[in-house]
Amino acid sequence: MDNPKILRNRAKCLLCGDIVESTSRHHLSMCKCGNMYVDGGTDYLRRGAADPDKVEDLTEYSTKED
């Protein structure tokens, strides 16, 4: 599968424990301590973090081929 479909665009901040999810295109969601954000919904993945080593990717992809 070349480009798997994104089902859930989310990540966990390992500093504050927040799990943040972007649910639609251009929906930026930030953790409560401000260390990281996710953006893009199921259209694209965009991440940002002050400390990228303190972010756990929790993105879920489709396992079926379309």
What is the chain's mean pLDDT, rounded? 93
Residues contacting residue 32 through CB under 8 Å, at least 6 positions apart? 16, 18
pLDDT per residue over 34-57, tens digit each?
Answer: 999 999 999 999 999 999 999 999
1-12 pLDDT tens trace: 567 899 999 999
- pTM value is 0.86
Domain boundaries defined on the chain: 6-59
pLDDT of 65 over the 70 cut: no
